[in-house]
């Protein structure tokens, strides 16, 4: 199975901060990498697909980059509604797996 | 607007079979891939299986021997059966759409999730 690791596991930030979350795959997965946001008690929401493509309706302050084994999710200016947990997920082969998550909370 | 809703028992006894149903509204079940995913504090998010109405299916090897997926196109529903439940299967179970108009086939729509507890 392809393992996904995320760093950091948690971070504290202020409104307006630039936030960067990293996802690393245990082998090359090309661009078959998606990012999700999950708020407490809710299902995950798709933010980014194919490593760098913004899902329809997602604010442009979110962006993704990377290919191969190293990927990044960036929030350019953190807003109150962005405090949540973020997961990466690969779809390169079976089984699809998720990263352990990065929790973003208020400093 | 397509929406998904899980239904089924909240409490299952050890060794029993869990049966969950996902009802798709606002769109046809025959036009996409559909999937089951679960989330537990210990294992995080775990993909279980997906299917396409034509019969194409794929399972997580770690669960394959215990998982059955079925579909009822007349009701626009699909179901998950997970046998030989143990406390390790306690989790929130989600149904979701796997949207393959994108190369990475992301899970773009999710149900609200249902918490299933395994306990005697």
pLDDT in tens, chain A (107 residues): 999 999 999 999 999 999 999 999 999 999 999 999 999 999 999 999 999 999 999 999 999 999 999 999 999 999 999 999 999 999 999 999 999 999 999 88
User: Do B59 and B70 form a contact (C-beta atoms < 8 A)?
Assistant: no
Give residue B105's pLDDT. 92
Calpha distance A62→A59 (Å, rounded): 6
User: In which region does residue A57 sit, left (phi positive, over 0), alpha (psi from -120 to 50) or beta (all else)?
Assistant: left
pLDDT over 80 at B106, yes or no: yes
Q: How far is CA B41 from CA A39, A53, B88, in A?
A: 15, 29, 10
Q: How far is CA B32 from CA A21, A49, B57, in A?
A: 31, 17, 12
Best probe of the B interface among A91, A99, A103, by most B CBs < 10 A, is: A91
Subunit contact B107:A42, Cβ cutoff 8 A: no
Best probe of the B interface among A35, A39, A49, by most B CBs < 10 A, is: A49
pLDDT over 90 at B41, yes or no: no
Q: Tens digit of pLDDT for each residue in B50-95?
A: 998 788 899 999 999 999 999 999 999 999 999 999 999 999 999 9
User: Can you list the alpha helix ranges (DSSP code H) found in chain B?
Assistant: none
Give residue B90's pLDDT. 97
* Residue (of A56, A29, A95) closest to B102 by Cα position: A56
The phi and psi torsions of B29 (rounded to 5 degrees) equal -70, -10
* SS3 call for A38: strand
pLDDT over 80 at B102, yes or no: no
User: Do A25 and A69 form a contact (C-beta atoms < 8 A)?
Assistant: yes
The tokens for A3 are: 């393992």
Place of tokens 């699809």: A96
């Amino acid at each position: 199975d392809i393992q996904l690791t995320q760093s950091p596991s948690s971070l504290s930030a202020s409104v307006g901060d630039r936030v960067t979350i990293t996802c690393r795959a245990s082998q090359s997965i090309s661009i078959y990498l998606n990012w999700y946001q999950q708020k407490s008690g809710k299902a995950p929401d798709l933010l980014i697909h194919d490593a760098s493509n913004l899902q329809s309706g997602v604010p442009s302050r979110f962006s993704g980059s990377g290919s191969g084994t190293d990927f990044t999710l960036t929030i350019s200016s953190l807003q109150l509604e962005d405090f949540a947990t973020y997961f990466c997920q690969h779809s390169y082969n079976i089984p699809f797996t998720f990263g352990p998550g990065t929790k973003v909370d208020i400093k | 607007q397509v929406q998904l809703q899980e239904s089924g028992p909240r409490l299952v006894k050890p060794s029993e079979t869990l049966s969950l149903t996902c009802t798709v509204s606002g769109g046809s079940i025959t036009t996409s891939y559909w999937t089951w995913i679960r989330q537990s504090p210990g294992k995080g998010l775990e993909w279980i299986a997906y299917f396409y109405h034509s019969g194409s299916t794929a399972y997580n090897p770690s669960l394959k021997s215990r998982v059955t997926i079925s579909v009822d196109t007349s009701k626009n529903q699909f179901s998950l059966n997970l046998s030989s439940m143990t406390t390790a299967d306690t989790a929130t179970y989600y149904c979701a759409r796997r949207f393959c108009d994108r190369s990475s086939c992301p899970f773009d729509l999710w149900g609200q999730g249902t918490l299933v507890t395994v306990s005697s």
